[in-house]
Structure 1
C-alpha cells in the first residue's frame, strides 16, 4: 500500500473543498484533496451562482477572484412578483451591500485551475474512499487509485464531500443529531443560451405556483418553475416549460421573456437538513456534508464558503499554536447555518404553493408579501439575510 502524509486531508473537490485547499495554501498549511469523481464530472455539475459578499471576500483572499470581478454580474437589488406586479427590493440602499451572479461551475473552474497552476495535489477518481481514526490522534484517509490501495495520513480530515459523502456517514449515529424537512414539491429548471428577462433575479409567487428568473451571464439564463415531486423532466418539452414560466409571471414581464432551446433540464427536490455538531475529534464537516438548504435564497454555496472560511482560519491558528478556532468551529458555523436555514425555510414557505395550505394560508402569504414590500423594516430584514450574514471569526 502506497502511503503519503499531509497536514489536512480534504475529502471532496467541489467548490468548498477546493476553496478550503486554496485558503490553507495561502496560510502555509499543506493539504491534499481526494475526490471520487473525475475533474470533468465535477465541472459538469449545474448549480446556483448568487454569491454573497462573504464568499467574494474569501475568493479574494484565496487569490482566485480575477475572472469573477471581470465577468460577474453585481446585483444591487432583487425582485418579488405577485398579483401581477413586480416589486424591487433595493439591497444596496437597505444594507450597503450587493450580491454577485457568477456560476458555481465558474467558481469551481477558477479554483481548479489555480490549484493546478500552484502544483497542489488533488487526487481525482479515487475509489473506495474511507476515513479512519478521526476519534484518535492518527487519522487517515484510504482509497484505491487505478487498482492500487493508498493511505493518506494527516493531522485532520475535512469532510467537504456533500450530502451523500462518506465523511458524515462515518460518524457513529449516537454522536450525530440530524434535523430535516422535506418539501412537497421540486423545482424544474432549464438552462438556455438566451438573455435573461431582467437584470436582477425575479422570485414570482402566483396561483399556478412559484417561478424564478435567474441567469448565469448576460447571455445565459436559468429559469425554474415549481413542480410536483413525482414529475419528470422528460415530460416537459421546451415549449411547455416556457408557456408555464410565462403563466406565472406578471404579463409585462412574461412578454419580455426570450425563449430558446434548453441545454440542460432537470428537477431538483427541496429539503432543509442540518447535522450537528460539525466536528468529531479530528474530523470536520463543511458545506453540504453538514447542511442542506432549499435553493430559495441561494444559500447553499455561500454557507459552504462560510464554513471553510472559518475552518481555514481555525486550522491556521492551530498550526500557529492556538486550538481556540477548532474548538469553537462547530458552534460558530451552526449559529450562521441555522439563521440561513430559517431564512431559506421562511422564503420557501412564503413564495411557493403548498398542497395543503388552503384559503387561509394563501391569504397569509399574500398579507406577508404585501407587508414585505410596503414596510422598510420588513424589506430590510429580507435584504440583510439575502446579502448574507457575517462570519463569526
Structure 2
C-alpha cells in the first residue's frame, strides 16, 4: 500500500489530522489497534476550549457538538465553604463547552467513513520503519495478513502507551516527567449535576470536582492516594466524601446522589518529550505529552498540535516547502509548556499535599483568595482556562 501520510492512532488527534488532510486533498491511512466500539465508548474528559470548538467547527465536524454541547461561561472555585465564580466570558469574551471526548471521536469517525478513505481498526503488531529516510514504512497484521504501508510522513497519534515514541532511538528524546503524590477517584452517576457550571473545591480532606456529561449525568472526582484500591471505596463512602468536600458554609447541599455507573482511579502526572519529531515521524497529543486533568488541557493540546501539523503538511505537499514541518516541534511545545504550567498551578493550588502542612494550607488559601478577589488574578485563570491563542 502507498499513501502520503500514515497515521497511527484513531483518537481525536489522529482522526482530526486525517480529516484536515482530506479537506486539503492529501491522502492518508489511519491505523488503530483497538476496536471501533472501544474508541467510541471509552469515557474520557470532555471540556473543550473555545479554540478547539472553533477548529472543529471550521472542519465541518461540529454540528452535533453545537446541538448537544453544554456551554459554560464561568466556573466556581470553592474554599472555606464559600463559592467564588470566575466569569470566563466576562473576562475573556470566550467560553468553554462540555462535550465528551468519545463524542468528538464518534463525529470524526463518521466524517472519516464518509470520505471513503482507509480507517483500519483492530490491527496488530504495528511497527514503524525507516524513519530517517524519505520513504518511511508502517507494518502491521490484520485478520492474519501482513501489510506494509509506504508513506511520505508518519504521524504518531497513538497515545502515551503507543509504539511511535518508543520507536525513536534512545537518547534522541529528552523527557520531562513529574508524578504527583495523589490521584483522582472519578465516578459517572445517573444524577443531575451539582451545579450548571463546574465546581473546583479545595477542602482540608482533599480536592473535589463537580462536573457533568449531560443534564442528567454527573461526573464527580475526589482526590485520593495514588495507590488507592478502588474496592475500598464503596458507593456510600464516595457520596459521603463528596458531600463533605463540596459542603457550603450556608448548609445548602448541592450534591445529588444517583446510581454510580462507572468508577475509576486516574494517576496525576505531567510529561513532555522534546523534540516532537524524528526524521519523517511526527508525534502529536498524548504520544508527546500528558498533563494532570485539573486544567482540562489534554484533548485541547492534542487538537492544537494537529492544527499546527496539518498546516505544515499542507504546505509541504503543495510545494511550499518544509519550513512548517521543521518548526512544528518548537511551535507546538511553546503552547504545551504554557498549558503544563497552568495545569501544575491549578493542581498545586487546589490539592492537599501529604502531611497536611499548615503553612502549605495557608498559602493555598491565600492564592485562591487572591485569584477570586483580584481582577488580574481571575484574568490569569480565565484566559488560560478558555485556551491561550492558537497562533
Settle same-fold status: TM greater than 0.5: yes
Task: Give how far 1:356 is off.
Answer: 4.1
Q: Does 1:182 align with 2:195?
A: no
Aligned to 1:380: 379
Give per-residue Cα distances to partners, 1:263-294, cap 9 Å, x unaligned. Answer: 11000000000001001111000000000000
Task: Give how far 1:96 is off.
Answer: 0.6
Mapped partners of 1:361, 1:310: distance in 2: 39
For the 8 Å contact 1:131–1:167, the answer to whether it is kept is: yes
Task: Give how far 1:353 is off.
Answer: 0.3
Task: Give how far 1:61 is off.
Answer: 2.2
User: May I ask how many residue pairs the two structures share in their alignment?
Assistant: 389
Aligned Cα root-mean-square deviation (Å): 1.1
Aligned to 2:255: 257
Task: Give how far 1:115 is off.
Answer: 1.0
Moved more, 365-374 or 231-240: 231-240
Mapped partners of 2:170, 2:57: distance in 1: 38
For the 8 Å contact 2:7–2:28, the answer to whether it is kept is: yes
Runs (4+) of structure 1 exceeding 3 A deviation are none
Aligned to 1:233: 230
SS of the residue corresponding to residue 222 of structure 2 reads: strand
Alignment of 1:204-223 (within 5 A): 204-223=201-220
Moved more, 88-97 or 38-47: 38-47
Task: Give how far 1:138 is off.
Answer: 1.1
Aligned to 1:166: 163
For the 8 Å contact 1:81–1:250, the answer to whether it is kept is: no
Change (3 A) 1:40 1:83: same
Unaligned runs of 5+ in 2: none
Moved more, 206-215 or 234-243: 234-243
Mapped partners of 1:24, 1:388: distance in 2: 24
Match of 1:99 among 96, 100, 107: 96
Match of 2:299 among 301, 319, 326: 301
Give per-residue Cα distances to partners, 1:322-378, cap 9 Å, x unaligned. Answer: 212111000000000000000000100000000045111111101101111000001
Mapped partners of 2:368, 2:247: distance in 1: 15
Q: Does 1:68 align with 2:59?
A: no
For the 8 Å contact 1:86–1:250, the answer to whether it is kept is: no
Mapped partners of 2:142, 2:355: distance in 1: 50
Mapped partners of 2:246, 2:256: distance in 1: 13
Task: Give how far 1:253 is off.
Answer: 7.7
Mapped partners of 1:382, 1:113: distance in 2: 35
Give per-residue Cα distances to partners, 1:146-197, cap 9 Å, x unaligned. Answer: 1111001100000000001000000112110000000011100000121111
Task: Give how far 1:47 is off.
Answer: 0.8
Give per-residue Cα distances to partners, 1:96-117, cap 9 Å, x unaligned. Answer: 1000110111111111111112
Q: Does 1:81 align with 2:78?
A: yes
Mapped partners of 1:189, 1:237: distance in 2: 13
Change (3 A) 1:93 1:233: same
Mapped partners of 1:371, 1:128: distance in 2: 52
For the 8 Å contact 1:197–1:253, the answer to whether it is kept is: no
Aligned to 1:365: 364
SS of the residue corresponding to residue 224 of structure 1 reads: strand
Match of 1:144 among 141, 144, 147: 141
For the 8 Å contact 2:202–2:350, the answer to whether it is kept is: yes
Change (3 A) 1:254 1:34: farther
Change (3 A) 1:288 1:253: farther
Aligned to 1:118: 115
Task: Give how far 1:254 is off.
Answer: 6.1
For the 8 Å contact 2:16–2:306, the answer to whether it is kept is: yes
SS of the residue corresponding to residue 302 of structure 1 reads: helix
Mapped partners of 1:233, 1:283: distance in 2: 38
